[in-house]
Structure 1
Amino acid sequence: MAPKLNHPFMEGLKVVPEGKQKDLKKIKTWMSSQPHLPEISDQYIYLFLHACYYSHEKTRSAIENYFTIRSNYPAIFSDRDYKSAKLHHIFIKLGYLISLPKTTPEGYRVLLYSVKDNDPTKMVFSDCIKAFCMYNDIILSEDGLQEGYIVVFDMKGVQLGHLARVSLPALRCFMLYIQEAHPCRLKAIHVLNTASWIHHVMRLIVPLLKSELLSLIKFHTGNIPENFPTELLPAEYGGEAATMKEFEKETEFLLGKYHHWLIESSEFKSDESKREKKASWWGLFNSSNKSNEMDEKTVLKNLQID
């Protein structure tokens, strides 16, 4: 199968949306007038349409941002060979990246991320962001048009030293990508075992957050979010799912399955030499966040940890 056709779903989209052909046609017509955008499959367009609840304006914006960011930040979106020494170290040694098998009653997929090695000196922030994005691409391919996603991030093992190793350009790129480009319906973000110094983290990211994303974040002092279906969680969290070690094997299997697919995915990016209107890609962030400025002091004052 040609690379264009097995992206973003390696095995194809199993359930194609009904009655959405007109939406697809409108976006395809628009893309044909944008010479800098890559040629992509209809299924790729359906992914964006679904993520944007079939709003044409939001879909066009997401597509533009997605391929532009991937072109302009190669440190995160190129060289996606998980077998390379630095990426293999992240996937196998530094952390757990887990997609839980059962969905919530609403049909949302739960993704769990946690630290395996708590030594900050072993972390290269931009490489960790790259690995995170690679894994998320795999999950989108596996899930198809998922109703929504809940992210659970366990801070246990995270040190202040990790914060000191954050690269601001990479962080800014990542926050833009997640908020303006990543084609998924994000429903909630739960932070477990929240560190006492979480305010330092928030001071760093609040200037980059839109109010919509901030409203999804919930902080918890313990292992389990309140009113969360705990049976979905791994055994280590008191749930009925498999152990973290067993999930780790599943992640390794997926990485092997998607090895060449991930490398191919680097081809899907804008060609800036063909862009009709030249502009700084950082302008994407400035324009998208301009109407959503938040008072940092107010946010930190209202920061609640359950």
Structure 2
Amino acid sequence: MSFGEIDVGEVYKNDPSLKPDDVKSIADWAEKQPHLPKMDELQVAIFLQSCYYSNELAKVTIDNYFTVKTLCADIFGNRDPRDSAVQTSVNTVLVSLLPKLTPEGNTVIFFKLLDTNPDPYNFPAAIRCFDMLTLLHLHKNGPCKGLVIVIDMKGVVFGHLLKLSVVVMKKLMYYLQDAMPIRLKGIEFFNIVPFMDKILALMKPFMKKELLDTLYLHVDQESLCKRIPKDILPQEYGGSCESIHILHEKYKGLINDNADFFKYQETQVVDESRRPGRPKNMGDVFGMEGTFKKLEVD
């Protein structure tokens, strides 16, 4: 494709545990699923690697991924970089895959508010931008050994909490744990806020024990750096990475310059009318949403 995806041969070369025959087997299976969109070899390889080379788990994850993307168009749809919600989110929240890996070889994705005014903050749009950037990175650079999410909460106020939604949080946690083609190794919050307990109350009911065990809360950066080396972080945090300004410019460039990739992603949806057996709906995947709406923070 025109956005410059990595050659799948390089992916195999970088990861000898990833077997072309296994990828072909899953690709053949996907071709026979009438409800699934067309996938290329690289995309299948990314899913198989994210599932620790389990063919059966990869098949389930592929189906979950395309089903969630289709059912949750409010979060994952409209990936046009020119969309006002995307542009506003890009200028409100920094999302950056930092260039240096952790000592364990994991990739760090760094979040920070650029605009601390809660008015322009849009939770679903922020998720969309995170997903756009991460999937672009996987297709340009190949699978990550593991992904660690690091969130600087400086500037987060109660008004941001009011923008969160139990329903959207449930969908996000399902996607992260059961559908997104990544090995999520942990979530690290630092500069945590006094109302962190309320944010956790929205998250924890939908987190599996494996992810809960890798959730870390840090009062300040000093605590964070006991787990994430300072050198990995942006200049403003004493690290050797570029400044927040440069990271933001790169982030904007990646979003704005890859419209073809994001447009292609929008075409990859499930045709539920062709799914073998009974079509899936929102209730099948996420349960009855009505039981969660009463838990919304207001």
1:192-231 matches, within 5 Å, as 192-224=190-222, 225=224, 226-231=226-231
Distance 1:44 1:197 in 2: 39
- CA RMSD of superposed structures (Å): 1.9
In the superposition, the TM-score normalised over structure 1's length comes to 0.86
Q: Give the secondary structure class of the aligned counterpart of 1:270.
A: coil
Q: Give the secondary structure class of the aligned counterpart of 2:267.
A: coil
One-letter amino acid of the structure 2 residue matched with residue 259 of structure 1: A
Paired residues in the alignment total: 280
Q: What do residues 3-35 of structure 1 show as CA deviations (whole Å, max 9, x unaligned)?
A: 8xx7xx734333225461331233123223321
Q: Is the 8 A contact 1:81 1:263 kept in 2?
A: yes
Q: What do residues 176-201 of structure 1 show as CA deviations (whole Å, max 9, x unaligned)?
A: 11110110111121101011211111
Q: What is aligned with 1:174?
A: 172
Q: Cα offset for 1:285?
A: 4.0
Q: Cα offset for 1:169?
A: 2.6
Q: Cα offset for 1:281?
A: 4.0
Q: Cα offset for 1:277?
A: 1.9
Q: What is aligned with 2:235?
A: 235
Which of residues 10, 13, 21 is equivalent to 2:5?
10
- Structure 1 residues without counterparts, runs of 5 or longer: 287-306
One-letter amino acid of the structure 2 residue matched with residue 23 of structure 1: D
Q: Give the secondary structure class of the aligned counterpart of 2:125.
A: helix
One-letter amino acid of the structure 2 residue matched with residue 193 of structure 1: N
Q: Is the 8 A contact 2:6 2:142 kept in 1?
A: no
Q: What do residues 264-285 of structure 1 show as CA deviations (whole Å, max 9, x unaligned)?
A: 2111121111112223343234
Distance 2:286 2:57 in 1: 15
Q: What is aligned with 1:60?
A: 59
One-letter amino acid of the structure 1 residue matched with residue 230 of structure 2: T
Distance 2:155 2:283 in 1: 33
More displaced, 11-20 or 81-90?
11-20
Q: Cα offset for 1:119?
A: 1.5
1:75-114 matches, within 5 Å, as 75-92=74-91, 94-114=92-112
Residue 273 of structure 1 pairs with residue 273 of structure 2: yes
Q: Is the 8 A contact 1:68 1:281 kept in 2?
A: no
Q: Give the secondary structure class of the aligned counterpart of 1:141.
A: helix
Q: Cα offset for 1:39?
A: 1.4
Q: Is the 8 A contact 2:43 2:139 kept in 1?
A: no
Q: Give the secondary structure class of the aligned counterpart of 2:102.
A: coil
Q: Give the secondary structure class of the aligned counterpart of 1:266.
A: helix
Q: What is aligned with 1:302?
A: none
More displaced, 165-174 or 67-76?
165-174
